[in-house]
Amino acid sequence: MTERTTPQDPPRTTLLRGGTVHSPADPFATAMVVEHGHVAWVGSEGAADSFADGVDEVVDLRGALVTPAFVDAHVHTTATGLALTGLDLTGAATLAEALDRVRAHAAARPADRVLLGHGWDASAWPERRPPSRRELDEATGGRPLYLTRADVHSAVVTTALLDLVPHVRERSGYAADAPLTGDAHHAVRAAAYDSVTPTQRAEAQRAALARAASLGIGSLHECAGPQISSVDDLTGLLRLAARETGPRVTGYWAKALTRAEDAAHIRELGAIGAAGDLFVDGSLGSHTACLHEPYADAPEAGHTGTAHLDATAIAAHVTACTEAGIQAGFHAIGDAALTAVVEGVRAAADKLGTARVRAARHRVEHAEMLTPEHIAGFAELALTASVQPAFDAAWGGDDAMYAERLGAERARTLNPYAALLRAGVPLALGSDSPVTPLDPWGTVRAAAFHRTPEHRVSVRAAFTAHTRGGWRAIGRDDAGVLVPGAPADYAVWETGDLVVQVPDHRVADWSTDPRSGTPGLPDLTPGALLPVCLRTVVGGREVYASPARPNE
């Protein structure tokens, strides 16, 4: 067993050999040397002998695959940890099952001032409706409960929680017996999360970071903000990640700026940008994504969602961030919201110069309902599309939520990853956990086997977007790939045969030929077993080791 290190300990010098190293430096590499937290050498088994006596550790890979560690470019860490350790309705097949889980959780947590839960999705239930307030009051015995929909843009709550929030029934987004959205939702969320103690919060954060490390994730982009979490939540997470061994955490704080001077507060929090979930609109599942044409299934005729920022506010924010030298970014899902983003960023570019705005690498989170004009704008302005392929896996197709909300024709236009790549738009992949689970190989699979075939990309392109793309999204071009000089953030995997997999199966039939000189990746065909993480290393320090790690 290798001795575990802390962030204060010097990283060990390690030789990994006897496996496959996924590296553009050598498509046939079987060995790698890590020194001073960086990749020092990648090459063949025979050449590895000359390094064996000068390292602290030799790892016999026993045929395992070594890849760059994944970067999850959109995570809510504390909420993820609370879902992992608390009430999670993900996968509940019926309303009755969801209520049973609520009862069991309430019984198991008698001391909790407010019960917290996540993950219900009535669109998948035969009852086709969320739990009523009366049903939740009964299931909890009249205790406060905050229970978010899968997309986290609406919530159902008990009467007792409403009673803790003054004047909540007068806020926009309040409904007498329907999910809360908008200001009403934000108010009850703040009240619910105020009940979480610092100890509970740290425990949740550790749980989320440990899960990420066990899945080969070496970096997370925490998308925090005043409407999502709190200053204490973000700063506490960044301190915890800095002092404990685990994945790297890069923080964003989603607050709109009007002056460059306002960026000082962003830096004081330890965030690298005023970005992440700075809401231009809401979500499709909650009918709050902002659309040009009405929803197909909205209760009221002509409903087109909710707009939180217009092009003028977006332009002011991008201008302030660009002048301050930090990233701007927005949450935008609907086509009207994305139009506002492109118009706003273009207005900032007209004022400051396109080259200056492009150099700032501003971001757009989710970017689902893109038109060809939006994609051209993203390419023109060098906007990174921070996207979540698991959304399509969960809600895409002609019979699922997207089609229900928009109609099948509009739904088929969503998440056009191939068109983004063809246009040269930078992609960074993530989960938006806890909206969808931390699952990097599943995310790559979802992009490569998109439910709309014309939007599919190669496994290699999706893998690159989930590794190097995440680093590029924070302005780092020197990481996310195993070449000499790059940070030693890597994962070791137990997997089957390696292939070069592309959307056209006729190409994949011959692409296993090693003479192609293209590094292979696991077969991610739907139904195939996903790779199992054996070891995760960040900056040369081990942050996860499976009991089945290869040098045991």
- Per-residue model confidence as pLDDT tens digits over 246-255: 999 999 999 9
Q: What's this model's pTM, rounded to 2 decimal places?
A: 0.90
Task: Please state the rounded mean pLDDT for residues 375-398.
Answer: 97
Per-position b or e across 34-53, b if 16+ CB within 10 A of its CB = bbebbbbbbbeeeebeebee
- Please report which confidence band the pLDDT of residue 12 belongs to, taking 50, 70 and 90 as the band edges: confident
- Rounded-to-integer distance, Cα 371 and Cα 538, Å: 38
Domain covering 13-68+482-495+531-545 in this structure, CATH number: 2.30.40.10
Which pLDDT belongs to residue 546?
93
- Does residue 134 have a pLDDT over 80? yes
Q: Where in the chain is the domain with CATH 3.10.310.70?
A: 78-195
Q: Where in the chain is the domain with CATH 2.30.40.10?
A: 13-68+482-495+531-545
Domain covering 199-474 in this structure, CATH number: 3.20.20.140
In DSSP notation, 325-347 reads: T-EEEEEE-SHHHHHHHHHHHHH
- Rounded-to-integer distance, Cα 176 and Cα 186, Å: 16
- With beta carbons less than 8 A apart as the criterion, state whether 478 and 464 touch: no
In DSSP notation, 295-313 reads: -SS-SSTT--------HHH
In DSSP notation, 11-77 reads: PPPEEEESSEE--TT-TT--EEEEETTEEEEEE-HHHHGGGGGG-SEEEE-TT-EEEEPEEEEEE-H
pLDDT > 70 fraction of the chain, expressed in percent and rounded: 95
Mean pLDDT, the chain, integer: 92
Helices of type H across 53-197: 77-85, 95-108, 133-140, 159-162, 182-194
Q: Where in the chain is the domain with CATH 3.20.20.140?
A: 199-474
Q: For residue 307, what are the CA distances in angstroms to 47, 224, 255, 289, 515?
A: 59, 20, 16, 8, 53
Q: How many CA atoms does the CB half-sphere of 485 hold within 13 Å? A: 3
**The pair of three-digit structure tokens given for residue 429, joined into one six-digit string:** 């992949």
Task: Give the CATH number of domain 78-195; options: 3.10.310.70, 2.40.33.10, 3.30.300.30, 1.10.3470.10.
Answer: 3.10.310.70
Which pLDDT belongs to residue 450?
97
Q: Is 70 exposed, middle or buried (0-12, 13-18, 19+ CB in 10 A)?
A: buried
Which pLDDT belongs to residue 390?
98
- Does residue 516 have a pLDDT over 70? no
Which pLDDT belongs to residue 1?
36
- Please report which confidence band the pLDDT of residue 115 belongs to, taking 50, 70 and 90 as the band edges: very high
Q: For residue 237, what are the CA distances in angstroms to 270, 273, 379, 440?
A: 10, 16, 33, 22
- Rounded-to-integer distance, Cα 41 and Cα 17, Å: 12
Which pLDDT belongs to residue 403?
97
- Does residue 279 have a pLDDT over 60? yes
Which of 116-125, 235-244, 249-258, 453-462 shows the lowest per-residue confidence on average (mean pLDDT)?
Answer: 116-125
- Does residue 513 have a pLDDT over 80? no
- Please report which confidence band the pLDDT of residue 503 belongs to, taking 50, 70 and 90 as the band edges: low
Which pLDDT belongs to residue 8?
63
Element (H, E) at 241: helix 231-243
Q: Is 177 exposed, middle or buried (0-12, 13-18, 19+ CB in 10 A)?
A: exposed
Pairing of strands 31-35, 38-43: antiparallel
